[in-house]
Chains A and B, each alone.
Chain A
């Protein structure tokens, strides 16, 4: 009997474990807000990694890094890249960049921010030994390859040859080749400086980062509960910032965060959940933000693996059979807008209606075109989606629309995680279409083109269709070399045109940012999914 008893417990343990696997999500915590002492609270999710800037590649941790650190450039309220800690950024050939720093910036421990603070931080981020999540973002800098010889090999150096401190306030960066979007890339939180204290104890730093930004840590990170910050009085622009401190409250559940916002326990929530969208403008009169966000949602095709999808007209016919307006307004309750370009509307270079006929709903023409293009084998189509991200409804809606408008059999195929789709695509186990999305790393057209559609991105980026177009590649390089930002935009738009003709992915919707704030705040601006703290005016 005793043996049987142990077996019983093992069985129960297995049941517990299996029971736990049956439920998704995680449970974290929040806390009280709604104070009038100038401290505001804001909703975030638990950051995925410790708060080391170069190890933070997602928006939740990015929010905190953005408050604690100031980089060389930043986004302003109109999503334009402007200088932050940089006094000037100059280049003759888009390859060698000379960056002068504004004086007067110090880290929260009193250390002066110098050109070397940036160099050390970037060398750390680019070094494979440190396995930092944002490592590939440094790949444009000369000498990046020396720090990344590949797994199992040790880098021979710990410095990139392209980084040089001319003096304390002058930084010279040499890139591998011309790259006109570099100043824009510098606005990403991975490119902020870190103090010397970081290198003594990176792990400890991640629990209590010492930045050079408008806010400094109050104590350590309280995981899954909150991350509290107070205003740093020695910040050069401290007088422009009304907020006395930010308490980032960590929620695992957006619905709960929204309830806290309505109850007045939370001041800022830039992720109003679908459940709150129908009523949030009524719940929070005059205290909502509804603006375009940076992400784009697509339907993609494994062009490289599946011949059936290689006809651009066929992809166009599928695109024309999608009623984007219904998806955006009905399925997403207005949390999306119909996509008409590969570039997000907040980016300089986006063109309204660029996609033209291909993204315009026209069921009869779509059906005609589908027949002309030769159709799909067996007249059936699968669209894969990951069941863990709220995609079921819209993918099923698209499937129904295609089924009706093209007269073919369409099934929405759930995968447990996004990664499972990618694995099955790579293993050629899955041949169907799939949902995809891209959110920017830095606000430049190039970031919507190269990482998703370039040849390089097949192995190292997010080009899951396997799309390759030599003309597109040439235009990217040409755009990188453009002498001014305006000219770069013009050339990148030509590259965008190539995509719009080929339609490797079908742009379906643009994300919108739906935010709400409490009565403690009079007004505020959000750009590039981040709160601009100098625009937050207290009520």
Chain B
């Protein structure tokens, strides 16, 4: 197990180098000019623009620019944005917001999704099951920004039950509603996933044997059946953790939360190459870590899976 983990961690290094280069090329290939983007609709002063371009090596060929960037990264300097802010500061400012929002959403979707799925599976075909099916169908079909805007208007503006936007009320007040909105789609997926795989497990031979042996029903479902049913759910959750960290662009925008997603969108728009590369690399690392945890969880859930 230990050797497996080390091997997996070593794989991260080439992946990161490859990813940074690919993202660098992608942003490099976008048309537009970051220095002009700073000036908006008015033409940037040609002289000042030339000075800034020279300062940020923007006139040099791609490989040289990449070299400037990556040699900075290896000395612990993530570089600065074209308006002179250290990228490490920006990440330090925004990452906690995304982390709180993402983990809150993650907890909501895991707990509520799994519980709803279990209830649904146990009461298959009954009223409760149908409620869960209809509710999840609705959640999956409503676009996130619609759900977000409607809840914001009703709960925030009309009922004044939650903050309308921003994070100054801190965790949990400012984060609960955005997290629910962010979690909504995945929550519905998880509920359906649990329902399907648990239904299958319940019908399996080993469950019938356990019940015949007279084990209490709670133990049969909770331990024997659930352990097998959770494998697809854990896979989905692991993937979704990465998605939550990088994909909250819409939710962050509706609720005006200064997280990574919004920064990434903004930076791509402004052609801020160093920060896009930095943020995406960070997200890739999160994905890789989540993926490793998922793979290790398999072994915990199913003793037949071994990594040696």
Chain A positions within 8 Å of B262 at CB level: 25-28, 224, 252
Any B CB within 8 A of the CB of A200: no
- Judge whether B222 is part of the interface by a CB distance below 8 angstroms: no
Q: Write the A54-67 contact mask toward B (1 if CB under 8 angstroms, else 0).
A: 00011000000000
Asked if A16 and B283 make an inter-chain contact with CB atoms under 8 angstroms apart, the answer reads: yes
- Chain B residues, CB < 8 A from A417: 31-32, 37, 269
Question: In the complex, what distance in Å separates the CA atom of A19 from the CA atom of B249?
Answer: 10
Is there contact, CB below 8 Å, between A131 and B19? no
Residues of B contacting A249 in the complex (Cβ-Cβ under 8 angstroms): 166
A288 at the interface (CB under 8 A from B): no
User: 1/0 contact trace for A1-31 toward B, CB 8 Å?
Assistant: 0100110011011101111110111111111
Q: Is B55 on the interface with A (CB-CB < 8 A)?
A: yes
**Known contacts A28-B262, A136-B45, A423-B31; is A13 also within 8 Å of B287 by CB?**
yes
Q: How far is the CA of A422 from the CA of B266 in the complex (A)?
A: 21
Q: Is A135's beta carbon under 8 Å from chain B?
A: yes
Residues in A229-284 with C-beta less than 8 Å from chain B = 249-253, 255-257, 259-260, 262-263, 265
Contact status B165-A16, CB under 8 Å: no
Partner of A29, one of B30, B258, B287: B258
Q: Do B169 and A32 touch across chains, with their CB atoms under 8 A apart?
A: yes
Contact, CB under 8 Å: A256 / B254: yes
Whether the pair A259, B165 counts as a contact (CB closer than 8 A) is yes
In the complex, are the beta carbons of A256 and B255 less than 8 A apart?
yes
B253→A2 contact, CB < 8 A: no
Selected contact of B157 from candidates A18, A136, A206, A259, CB within 8 Å: A259
* A24 in contact with B31 (CB, 8 Å): no
Q: What's the Cα separation between A58 and B256 when bound, in Å?
A: 21
C-alpha gap A419/B32 in the complex (Å): 6
Residues of A within 8 A of B156 (CB): 259, 263
By beta carbon, the residue of chain A nearest B81 is A49
Q: How far is the CA of A389 from the CA of B40 in the complex (A)?
A: 11
Determine how close the nearest CB of chain A comes to the CB of B92; give it in whole angstroms.
11
Flag if B253 contacts A31 (CB, 8 Å). Answer: no
Judged by a CB distance under 8 angstroms, whether B210 is at the interface is: no
Within 8 A of A (CB), among B29-54: 30-33, 36-48, 50-52, 54
- Does B261 count as interface, using CB distance less than 8 angstroms? yes
In the bound complex, CA of A203 to CA of B19 (Å): 32
> B219 in the interface, Cβ–Cβ < 8 Å?
no
Docked-complex contact B249 and A20, CB < 8 angstroms:
yes
In the complex, what residue of chain B is closest to A386 when comparing beta carbons?
Answer: B41
A470 on interface, CB distance cutoff 8 Å: no
The closest CB in chain A to the CB of B23 belongs to: A17
B213 within 8 A of A: no
Question: Which residues of A460-480 are within 8 A (CB) of B?
Answer: 460-462, 464
Instruction: Return A220 CB to nearest CB of chain B, in Å.
Output: 11
Bound form: Cα–Cα A462–B168 in Å: 40
Within 8 A of B (CB), among A197-214: 203, 206
- The CA-CA distance from A12 to B165 in the complex, in Å, is 31
1/0 contact string of B287-298 vs chain A (CB within 8 Å): 110010000000
Q: Name the residue of chain B whose CB is nearest to the CB of A21.
A: B268
Contact A24 B269 (CB under 8 A): yes
* A259-B164, A420-B32 given; A28·B40 CB < 8 A: no
> Would you call B274 an interface residue if the criterion is a C-beta within 8 Å of the partner chain's C-beta atoms?
no
A6 touches which of B15, B94, B97 (Cβ 8 Å): B15
Assembly CA distance A482 to B255 (angstroms)? 53
Are A23 and B40 within 8 A (Cβ)?
no
Q: Is the CB–CB distance between A225 and B47 below 8 Å? A: no
Q: Which of A14, A252, A389, A419 contacts B26 (CB 8 A)?
A: A14
Q: Is B139 an interface residue (CB 8 A)?
A: no
CA separation between A56 and B263, bound complex, in Å? 21
A31 vs B47: C-alpha distance in the bound complex, in angstroms? 39
**What 0/1 pattern do residues 237 to 261 of B give for CB contact below 8 A with A?**
0000000001111101111111101
B2: A residues at CB distance < 8 A: none
Q: Closest chain B residue to A452 by CB distance? A: B42
> Which chain A residues lie closer than 8 Å to B47 at the CB level?
128, 135, 148, 150-151
Does A223 lie within 8 Å of B48, measured CB to CB?
A: no
Kindly state the separation between the CA atoms of A131 and B54 in the bound complex, as whole angstroms: 11
Given the complex, which residues of A lie within 8 Å of B250, measured CB to CB? 23
List CB contacts (< 8 Å) of B91-129 with chain A: 93-94, 97
A17 touches B280 (CB 8 A): yes
- Contact partners of A459 in chain B: CB under 8 A: 46
- Are B11 and A5 interface neighbours, CB within 8 A? yes
In the complex, residue of chain A having the shortest beta-carbon distance to the beta carbon of B52: A131
Which B residues lie within 8 Å of A135 (CB)? 45, 47-48
Cα A319 to Cα B177 with chains together (Å): 49
| Contact A9 to B37, CB < 8 A, known contacts A135-B45, A417-B32 | no
A-B contacts, 15 of them at CB < 8 A, read A20-B246, A20-B265, A25-B262, A26-B262, A28-B258, A31-B166, A49-B84, A50-B83, A132-B48, A151-B47, A223-B93, A251-B256, A260-B165, A260-B166, A462-B41
Q: Which 7 A-B pairs have the closest CB atoms?
A: A27-B262, A26-B266, A31-B168, A27-B252, A224-B258, A151-B50, A30-B166
Sample of 12 more A-B contacts, CB < 8 Å, known A27-B253, A29-B166, A30-B164: A9-B287, A14-B22, A17-B26, A17-B27, A25-B253, A25-B262, A30-B256, A224-B94, A251-B165, A252-B256, A419-B37, A420-B31
